[in-house]
Structure 1
Amino acid sequence: MSAFELDARLERDSDLITILSLCQVRLLKDSRWPWLMLVPQRAQKTELFELTPLDQALLTFETNLVAGALKQVTGARKINVGALGNIVAQLHVHIVARHEGDPNWPGPIWGFGTALPYDDETKQSFVKALNQAIDA
């Protein structure tokens, strides 16, 4: 059995926030949207249905937990959740807070414009608030 390894592109494009029972919670390096990603720590998984039934339930629970925390912290109008994997095959779930008037609202975020990095203070404040909401 091979060990879990994070895809190099996912690692490059995001920062680790915390680790839950199943997933790494990662923050995308793009301040235009509060954009998180859950990565189940299971080797060689590319599809939701490849997870065990217990891991599927845990992924659903962790997705709901993180999405709720993100909505609480951001006050977003809408939380988008998606598992695409067309570019990076490793199973991962995007959780994005959307607001009217954000870049490309109401269109999709993928492939739109150029990522804007967080400044350190804003990032640290957001991560702290998000971790507190997840732990509440």
Structure 2
Amino acid sequence: MTTFALHAQLAADGLFLADWPLSRLLRMNDAAYPWLILVPRLTDAREIVDLSAADRVRLMDEIAWASQALKDQQRPDKINVGALGNVVPQLHIHVLGRFKDDPAWPKPVWGHAAPIRFEAADAAREIETWRTALSPYGA
């Protein structure tokens, strides 16, 4: 039996927040946007249709939890949810808060600018802030 392994690009780009019942939850290491990533901890899942019916329901619940926490924490003008996977084949879902005054509005954030990485101390604070905001969900 193969165990779950996070794709190297997701590991490099994300800050670990939690393991929910289905997904590993990451905070994108980009201070420009409030951006969460859910990665179902299933081997070889590339598309949502690769999940069982029960796991699809669980994934939708987890997307809703992440979206609600983002909405409560950041109050964005819009929440974008997407499973692109053009660069990273491992199934992962972006939950991204957008603001009318953000650097890329209204265009997609991908390719707009290089990520603004958190300094170590700021990353630790960001992780703690999100863990607190997410604590009512997915435990």
TM bin, normalised by shorter chain, reads over 0.9
Aligned match of 2:23 = 23
Task: Specify every segment of 5 or more residues in structure 1 that has no aligned partner in the other structure, as ranges.
Answer: none
Aligned match of 2:56 = 56
* 1:122 CA displacement: 4.1
Task: Specify every segment of 5 or more residues in structure 2 that has no aligned partner in the other structure, as ranges.
Answer: none
CA-to-aligned-CA distance 1:74-101 (integer Å, 9 cap, x gap): 1111111000111111000001011111
Q: Decide whether the 8 Å contact of 2:16 with 2:127 is kept in 1.
A: no
Aligned match of 1:117 = 117
| Structure 2 SS opposite 1:128 | helix
Aligned match of 2:69 = 69
Q: Decide whether the 8 Å contact of 1:7 with 1:90 is kept in 2.
A: yes
| Structure 1 SS opposite 2:113 | coil
Q: Which amino acid aligns with 2:123?
A: K
**Aligned-pair RMSD on alpha carbons?**
1.3
Q: Which amino acid aligns with 1:6?
A: L
Q: Which moved more, 1:77-86 or 1:118-127?
A: 118-127
| Structure 2 SS opposite 1:61 | helix
Structure 2-normalised TM-score? Answer: 0.91
Aligned match of 1:105 = 105
Percent identical: 33
CA-to-aligned-CA distance 1:46-98 (integer Å, 9 cap, x gap): 00011011110000000000110011111111111000111111000001011
Q: Give the length in aligned residue pairs.
A: 136
Q: Decide whether the 8 Å contact of 1:73 with 1:129 is kept in 2.
A: no
Detail structure 1 runs of 4+ shifted over 6 Å in the superposition.
none
Q: Decide whether the 8 Å contact of 1:17 with 1:127 is kept in 2.
A: yes
Q: Decide whether the 8 Å contact of 2:22 with 2:58 is kept in 1.
A: yes
The change in CA–CA distance for 1:66 and 1:56 in structure 2 (over 3 A counts) is same
* 1:133 CA displacement: 2.6
Q: Which amino acid aligns with 2:42?
A: R
* 1:121 CA displacement: 4.6
